[in-house]
Structure 1
Amino acid sequence: MSLNVIDLIKGQLGPALVSQAASQLGESESGISKAIGGMLPAVVGGLANNSDNPGVLDAITNASSSGILGNLMGGASSSPVISTLLTSIFGDKISGIVNAIATYAGISNNSSSSLLNLVTGATVGSIGKYAADNNLDKSGISNLLGEQKGIVSSLLPAGLSLASLNIGDWAKGYKFDNDNDTIRTTASEEPKIEVTRSTTAAGTNPDRNNNEGGGSIWKWLLPLLLLIAAAYFLWKQCDKKQTTTTTTVTDSSASKTDSAATTTPADTSATTTAPVAKTDENIDLNGVMLKGYKGGMEDQMITFLKSGDYKNAADDATLKDKWYDFDHVNFKLGSSTELEAGSQGQLDNLVAILKAFPDAKIKIGGYTDKTGNEASNVKLSKSRAEFIKGALAKAGVGAQVLEAEGYGSKYAKVDAKASDAERAADRKMAVRFAK
């Protein structure tokens, strides 16, 4: 099975970067996330369609040493390499893509343009790092890009298709065929309407000349297909909000209950609470305002401590069932020592909470999804938990951290064959109070 490079890139475009981009660009996190979801397959498709382009191969080869992955918010938006690369793969159609994504995601054109540079930088940087790590030369990179041609169109989110990004004849170069992995570029090809993740498959476009006066079946069929896709998308969104699962797991000496949405990570608690609404606001810590989410980790921990339940807990057995997932502490792909941008803020919040309640003790837990070697997963999750413990110690609250454990995929719930977005719910760091 061919490597899906989009899975590589998603590690660079996680919740922390989405939050940072939303704050910097003045957009909602949902709009930023939606735009990235639409741009990523389009950018990978553009690179795949130019897999033999020397300029593309040079940009990817040099990306590993450029440091672009370490400065996506600043480096990608102003990098002449990224601007040149976008012009090379999309030509004069860049503004059309920016406009289409802005309309689709409900963000400004300026934000859409900045995100296109950011996503392109993350894509080139991730592929370049993979190539360097696996000793791929330009021929190997070209083959890797070529392998993406059969999967790109199927990864576009609901409500967006290659056809919807068509400005003039641009889409003709991006008709990826899932059956034979070839690109249809013949002059006689009529555009194919693609509605992805819909219960209705898109059909091929009939010859327009068969209808007199330019009348076409698409006058009623295209709106119908779009309505079906929109209805399906709305139904799925409602289904996501209503469906929760509760799974009870046991660590080395206690049990842990997670309340998580079926498709996205959710804040963990001991009971079957409803999914937490990610509303950014100030959280009151004894008169000090912490930046966090209403109902998020900090809010729940402070509420619990103020209630007196921790102080009145007789022993660790009465605390073992209540865990809290970090909302924003994320490690870079495969690393146990490098945090993604935006992670430090929540660690600082945890330090502030522990200093405000010096009698409180905690335990750190690390978890992975079901992919990969389990021994490596346990080692990685343990190292990440120890890293957080060490960071808290450096901040002066190390005595309040009793233990740091890594559980690998032992408590993972999502199948290894599920999408990366679905498996993200199992890749987390969590904290609970302890005695």
Structure 2
Amino acid sequence: MSLNLIDLIKGQLGPALVSQSASQLGESESGISKAISGLLPAVIGGLANNANDPRVLDAITGASSSGLLGNLLGGTSSSPVISTLLSSIFGDKLSGLVNSIASFAGISNNSSSSLLNLVTGATVGSIGKYAADHNLDKSGISSLLSDQKGIVSTLLPAGLSLASLNLGDWAKGYKFDNDQDAIRQPSHEEPKVEVTRSTAPNGTFPERNKDNGGSIWKWLLPLLLLIAAAYFLWKQCEKKETTTTMTSTDSANTSADTATAVVPTNTAGSGMSANTRVDENIDLNGTALHGYKGGLEDQMIAFLKSDGYKNAADDAVLKDKWYDFDHVNFKTGSGNQLEAGSEGQLQNLVAILKAYPDAKIKIGGYTDKTGNEAVNLKISKERAAFIKDWLGKQGVGAQVLDAEGYGSQFAKVDAKASDAERATDRKMSVRFAK
């Protein structure tokens, strides 16, 4: 079975990156997500159609050392490697692709172009990493890309066809059978009229059965209208879908600092839910940090400005005030691999600690109730330690007193609940410490 490259790449384009891209480009998260869903198969198709092109193979083999995956939001838009690669695989069809995706997703052409660079960087970087990890040479990479030709027809999202991408003859080599099935042009041949001799008496013609030509439409036309109405309603519902991300809330933050398993309340929060978050610049003593009203940065800065930390007599006063990261996520099952876009909020935390050098913090990691508890505990500890080490490399290590993982010890959602419900238990948190 051929490797589906979308499965390889989608980890780089998770909810955190979608959210940050939406904020950076001034678009809705649903529009960004929809655009990525259309761009990703188009980029994979372009690479597969040029699987033997030396420029494509050079870009992929050099991706592992170029740092593309570590800076998707900041580095891909100005990368000459990405620009050259896109020109190579799409040629004069590039602008048509950008315009079509913009129209499909309801975003601006500029945003569509930026996302095309981002998706291309994630694709090339992921394939390059896979090739390096599996010791694939250029021939192996070429074979991997060529294998996508047989499955690329299944990758386009509903509502987007090859014809609508304005790519012309670009994809003749693919098996886009679904597009041919969806668009059937009527025949322009004149109907053949067969003349027969009448057997009616007195030279008259028998009366034609008026239902022969119209009976089929009596049931087919209403059926077609019903299908069209159902499709319209489905598309309207699809537009309302938003990408779910882990958010900071005021209730049910947990602490493992006491043997009695006290369930603390994040009293520093604003009480805003994930559905009412307001994207804005958070003021840090005159410096603007990009975050959410009521999010981690907003809460921590408000607490520090109120002299809450300075006036805290000891650690017991601070231990129940935990702040959940809004956009720091790890790849599934990994204790040391951040999802793309996660470093932005960690950089914000570094800025806060540098602005308040007397402040000390503690990092906590949590999982949901699914899986083996020993594994959950191990992963949560690794993640907390990873963030502590990461902060140390940014020059604020002395302010991070401890990092602990609690596994599912304080998880509240049942293991049989939906993944979306259990996501509230999978988080990384931070609190002030003395």
Give the corresponding residue for 1:44. Answer: 44
User: More relative contact order in 1 or in 2 (CA 8 Å, sep 6+)?
Assistant: 2
Give the corresponding residue for 1:129. Answer: 129
> Does 2:207 match 1:208?
no
Aligned residue runs from structure 1 range 155-234, under 5 A: 156=156, 160-162=160-162, 164-168=164-168, 173-174=173-174, 183-184=175-176, 191-193=180-182, 205=183, 208-209=186-187, 224=229, 226-234=231-239
**Contact 1:331 1:337 (C-alpha < 8 Å) held by counterparts:** yes
Question: Match of 1:28, as an amino acid?
Answer: E
- TM-superposed CA distance for 1:346, in Å, is 0.9
**Contact 2:162 2:176 (C-alpha < 8 Å) held by counterparts:** no
Q: Deviations over 1:140-167 (max 9, x none)?
A: 4345445556765666556545554354
Question: Match of 1:227, as an amino acid?
Answer: F
Question: Match of 1:405, as an amino acid?
Answer: E
User: TM-score, normalised on structure 2?
Assistant: 0.66
Q: Deviations over 1:327-353 (max 9, x none)?
A: 345679968498956345412343156
Q: Distance in 1 between matches of 2:185 and 2:232?
A: 23
- In structure 2, the CA distance between the partners of 1:273 and 1:336, relative to structure 1 (3 Å rule), is same
Question: Match of 2:365, as an amino acid?
Answer: G
> Does 2:403 match 1:398?
no
In the alignment of these two chains, the number of paired residues is 394
Give the corresponding residue for 1:178. Answer: none
- TM-superposed CA distance for 1:132, in Å, is 0.3
Give the corresponding residue for 2:9. Answer: 9
**Contact 2:82 2:120 (C-alpha < 8 Å) held by counterparts:** yes
Secondary structure at 2:62's aligned position in 1? helix
- In structure 2, the CA distance between the partners of 1:270 and 1:87, relative to structure 1 (3 Å rule), is closer
- TM-superposed CA distance for 1:17, in Å, is 5.6
Give the corresponding residue for 2:428. Answer: 429
- In structure 2, the CA distance between the partners of 1:248 and 1:45, relative to structure 1 (3 Å rule), is farther
Q: Distance in 2 between matches of 1:422 and 1:164?
A: 37
- In structure 2, the CA distance between the partners of 1:309 and 1:345, relative to structure 1 (3 Å rule), is closer
Give the corresponding residue for 1:262. Answer: none
Give the corresponding residue for 1:299. Answer: 298
Q: Distance in 2 between matches of 1:289 and 1:74?
A: 18
Give the corresponding residue for 2:27. Answer: 28
**Contact 2:93 2:167 (C-alpha < 8 Å) held by counterparts:** yes
> Does 2:366 match 1:377?
no
> Does 2:108 match 1:103?
no
Secondary structure at 1:124's aligned position in 2? helix
- In structure 2, the CA distance between the partners of 1:378 and 1:33, relative to structure 1 (3 Å rule), is same
Bigger Cα displacement from structure 2, 2-11 vs 119-128: 2-11
**Contact 2:324 2:429 (C-alpha < 8 Å) held by counterparts:** yes
Question: Match of 1:40, as an amino acid?
Answer: L
Give the corresponding residue for 1:280. Answer: 279
Q: Distance in 1 between matches of 2:302 and 2:268?
A: 13
Give the corresponding residue for 1:362. Answer: 361
**Contact 2:324 2:427 (C-alpha < 8 Å) held by counterparts:** yes
Give the corresponding residue for 1:350. Answer: 352
Q: Deviations over 1:14-61 (max 9, x none)?
A: 56766776677x543635454334312321233345556555344322
**Contact 1:381 1:406 (C-alpha < 8 Å) held by counterparts:** yes
Q: Deviations over 1:297-346 (max 9, x none)?
A: 12223445567877888876775554322234567996849895634541
Q: Distance in 1 between matches of 2:371 and 2:91?
A: 38
Identity of aligned residues (%): 59
**Contact 1:255 1:320 (C-alpha < 8 Å) held by counterparts:** no
Unaligned runs of 5+ in 1: 175-182, 194-204, 260-267
Aligned residue runs from structure 1 range 238-257, under 5 A: 251=256, 253=258, 254=261
Secondary structure at 1:364's aligned position in 2? strand
**Contact 1:329 1:347 (C-alpha < 8 Å) held by counterparts:** no
- In structure 2, the CA distance between the partners of 1:102 and 1:362, relative to structure 1 (3 Å rule), is same
- TM-superposed CA distance for 1:191, in Å, is 2.1
Q: Deviations over 1:352-383 (max 9, x none)?
A: 5644xx4x653212357879965763453143
Q: Distance in 2 between matches of 1:54 and 1:106?
A: 35
Secondary structure at 1:209's aligned position in 2? coil
Question: Match of 1:209, as an amino acid?
Answer: S
Question: Match of 2:280, as an amino acid?
Answer: E
